[in-house]
């Protein structure tokens, strides 16, 4: 059943919400568990469509997986490297982590090229370069990546672009290679530290995660363990932005404020009051905001995943704001949809030039996950009317309990079936 999100605008968000575990950690930790010979327990698991698809993928690979509340239990002892050239792997981006995990555990993998949010071409050449450096032979046969290694040996790998996915995928395979692997120009996102923490708890020896040089000493076997997933900094940032955009007062709880520093700094710069506590942040919206420049960069810079939601907030700021995405050059599919609501935004190369706009409700299409988040925030700020956000399945990839969370903050939002 296809659903749309109905969003009534014009109400400030007020109250507090608790943030769940991070999608981009969860969907790397689940395949990482396959590198162990015994059960792995993952706590603080978010209830997202990507997670549920990953559970099914692991089951296809012979794992036993169960979920109870926010805990996932994975027994990978009977896992096999079943070829998955098509099917569910196409439904999410992070299915590419099965390449590293299966290569590490079995020395072979056949995995279809990933799906996920296709806001622009997203190559995986650096993942492949890493696998080849570890001694694997990699071929693309009709859209499926075939990877085979007689023996995986540690290597020195320099990434040409700073890539979250390639850094994690190489860590996965290298943790079961013979000898030491060094990844230079590695990505530093908190999710990478989370994966390294899990692998180390499984018995791996990984040093330097969170810096640009990561050293992985390969192990011949890894064991099960229990691990709690870090909070989702992108969901947290989205709610911070939504609170500011509706001139609300919201406490965003159970987060790591350090992970939010780039967003916090930009909100303060435009005039939002942000109070940091140990495990939470309070946002106090103000009547007037200043236009600012925002550059989406790799961590610890402003996250590209928050670039689209931030666009909706910048529409509320006086003067002109310039938002440039240095990670993805054309992640701007939300802009024509925002224009339907009255947004005055021009695209110049990889920058959006954003002018103060008074939005009205409209029927809009989410074309990817964060474009969807941007449209929901825009709908919340529209002065009157009900915005209909189509493509809710994208939003469900990354925001669990969205309607419950927004409703608890006083918003009027609900899901409706799309009747063709």
Ligand X SMILES: CC(=O)N[C@H]1[C@@H](OP(=O)(O)OP(=O)(O)OC[C@H]2O[C@@H](n3ccc(=O)[nH]c3=O)[C@H](O)[C@@H]2O)O[C@H](CO)[C@@H](O)[C@@H]1O
Ligand Y SMILES: C=C(OP(=O)(O)O)C(=O)O
Q: Cis peptide leading into 300, omega within 30 of 0?
A: yes
181 binds ligand X (CB under 6 A): no
C-beta of 390 vs 394, nearer to ligand Y = 394
Pick the closest to residue 36 from 198, 169, 151 (CA basis): 198
Which residue among 75, 194, 305, 388 contacts ligand X (CB under 6 A)? 305
- When asked if residue 396 is in the footprint of ligand Y (CB under 6 A), the reply is no
165 counts as binding ligand X under rule CB under 6 A? yes
Short-list 260, 352, 340, 257, CA closest to 313? 352
The verdict on 330 binding ligand X (CB under 6 A) reads no
Tell me: is residue 24 an annotated ligand-binding position: yes
Q: Does the footprint of ligand X cover residue 122 (CB under 6 A)?
A: yes
Edge-to-edge order in the sheet of strand 213-217: 156-158, 180-184, 213-217, 205-207
Q: Is 369 in the site for ligand Y (CB under 6 A)?
A: yes
Residue 24 or 246 with smaller CB distance to ligand X: 24
Cβ pair 285, 246 in contact under 8 A? yes
Residue 327 neighbours by CB under 8 Å, 6+ apart: 296, 297, 298, 304
The annotation status of 389 as a binding-site residue, yes or no, is no
- Report the C-alpha gap between 54 and 47 in whole angstroms: 11
Distance between start and end Cα atoms, the chain: 11
Binding flag, residue 327, ligand X (CB under 6 A): yes
Query: What is the per-residue binding string for ligand Y in 8-47, x denoting contact by CB under 6 A?
Result: ----------------x-----------------------
Task: Count the Cβ atoms, other than its own, within 10 Å of residue 419.
Answer: 6
Shortest CB 113 distance to ligand X, Å: 12
DSSP string, 159-225: -SS--HHHHHHHHHHHTTSBSEEEEES----HHHHHHHHHHHHTT-EEE-BTBSEEEEE--S-----
* 409's tokens: 């903050």
Cβ 33 to ligand X, closest distance in Å?
16
In the complex, the smallest distance separating the C-beta of residue 166 from ligand X, rounded to whole angstroms, is 5
**Residue 122 labeled ligand binder:** yes
In this structure, are residues 42 and 229 in contact, taking their beta carbons and an 8 Å threshold?
yes
CB-CB contact of 285 with 243 (8 Å): yes
50 touches 257 (CB < 8 A): no
Please report, as residue ranges, which positions from 92 to 121 form the binding site for ligand Y (by CB under 6 A): 93-94, 116-117
Site membership for ligand X, residue 124 (CB under 6 A): yes
For position 126 contacting ligand X by CB under 6 A, the verdict is yes
249 annotated ligand binder: no
Q: Which of residues 18-47 bind ligand X (CB under 6 A)?
A: 24, 27
- CB-CB neighbours of 329 under 10 Å: 11
φ and ψ of 153, to 5 deg: -120, 140
Give the distance between the most distant pair of CA atoms in the chain. 64
Stretch that binds ligand X, among 142-150, 161-169, 375-383, 388-396 (CB under 6 A): 161-169
Q: Which does 398 bind (CB under 5 to 8 A by kind): ligand Y, ligand X, none?
A: ligand Y
By beta-carbon proximity to ligand X, the closer residue of 79 and 164 is 164
Counting contacts by CB under 6 A, is residue 127 touching ligand X? yes
Catalytic residue at 117? yes
CB of 279 to ligand X, least distance (A): 23
CA distance 258 to 272: 18
Residue 398 interacting with ligand Y (CB under 6 A): yes
Nearest approach, Cβ of residue 367 and ligand Y (Å): 12
Residue 246 is given by DSSP the state T
C-alpha count within 13 angstroms, C-beta hemisphere, residue 385 = 14
Minimum distance of ligand Y from residue 93's CB (angstroms): 4
By CB under 6 A, the residues from 66 to 105 that bind ligand X are 93-94
Cα 272-275-371 angle, rounded to 5 deg: 55
Question: From the CB of 116, what's the least distance to ligand Y, in Å?
Answer: 3
Binding range to ligand X, per CB under 6 A, among 6-14, 159-167, 387-395, 403-411 = 159-167
**Binding site: what residues are annotated?**
23-24, 93, 122-126, 305, 327
List of residues contacting ligand X (CB under 6 A)? 24, 27, 93-94, 122-127, 161, 163-166, 187, 304-305, 327-328
Give catalytic residues, as residue numbers: 117
List of residues contacting ligand Y (CB under 6 A)? 24, 93-94, 116-117, 305, 369-370, 398
**Binding site for UDP-N-acetyl-alpha-D-glucosamine: what residues are annotated?**
93, 122-126, 305, 327
């Amino acid at each position: 059943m296809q659903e749309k999100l109905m969003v009534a605008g014009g109400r400030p968000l007020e109250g507090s919400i608790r943030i769940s575990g991070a999608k981009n950690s969860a969907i790397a930790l689940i395949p990482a568990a396959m590198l162990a010979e015994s059960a792995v327990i993952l706590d603080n698991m978010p209830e997202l469509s990507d997670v549920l698809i990953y559970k099914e993928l692991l089951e296809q690979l012979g794992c036993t997986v169960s979920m109870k509340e926010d805990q996932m239990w994975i027994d990978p002892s009977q896992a096999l490297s079943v070829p998955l050239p098509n099917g569910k792997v196409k439904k999410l981006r992070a299915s590419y982590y099965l390449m590293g995990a299966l290569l590490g555990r079995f020395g072979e993998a056949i995995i279809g090229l990933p799906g996920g949010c296709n806001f622009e071409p997203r190559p995986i050449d650096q993942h492949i370069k890493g696998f080849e450096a570890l001694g694997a032979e990699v071929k693309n046969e009709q859209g499926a990546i075939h990877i085979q290694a007689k023996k995986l040996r540690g290597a020195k790998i320099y990434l040409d672009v700073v890539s979250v996915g390639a850094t994690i995928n190489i860590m996965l395979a290298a943790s079961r290679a013979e000898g030491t692997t060094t990844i230079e120009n590695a990505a530093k996102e908190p999710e990478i530290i989370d994966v390294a923490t899990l692998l180390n708890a499984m018995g791996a020896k990984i040093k330097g995660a969170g810096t640009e040089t990561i050293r992985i000493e390969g192990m011949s076997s890894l064991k099960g363990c229990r691990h709690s997933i870090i909070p989702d900094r992108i969901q947290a940032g989205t709610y911070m932005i939504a609170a500011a955009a509706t001139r609300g007062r919201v406490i965003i709880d159970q987060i790591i404020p350090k992970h939010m520093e780039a967003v916090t700094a930009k909100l303060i710069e435009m005039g939002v009051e942000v109070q940091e506590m140990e495990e939470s942040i309070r946002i106090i919206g103000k009547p007037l905001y200043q236009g600012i420049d925002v550059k989406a960069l790799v961590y610890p810079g402003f996250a590209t995943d928050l670039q689209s939601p931030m666009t909706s907030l910048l529409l509320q700021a006086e003067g002109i704001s310039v938002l440039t995405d240095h990670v993805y050059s054309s992640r701007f599919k939300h802009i024509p949809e925002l224009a339907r609501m009255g947004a005055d935004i021009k695209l110049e190369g990889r920058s959006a030039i954003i002018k103060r706009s008074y939005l009205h409700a409209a029927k809009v299409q989410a074309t990817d996950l964060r474009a969807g988040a941007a449209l929901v925030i825009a709908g919340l700020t529209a002065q009157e009317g009900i915005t209909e956000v189509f493509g809710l399945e994208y939003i469900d990839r990354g925001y669990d309990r969205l309607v419950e969370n927004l409703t608890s903050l006083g918003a009027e939002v609900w899901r409706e079936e799309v009747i063709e």
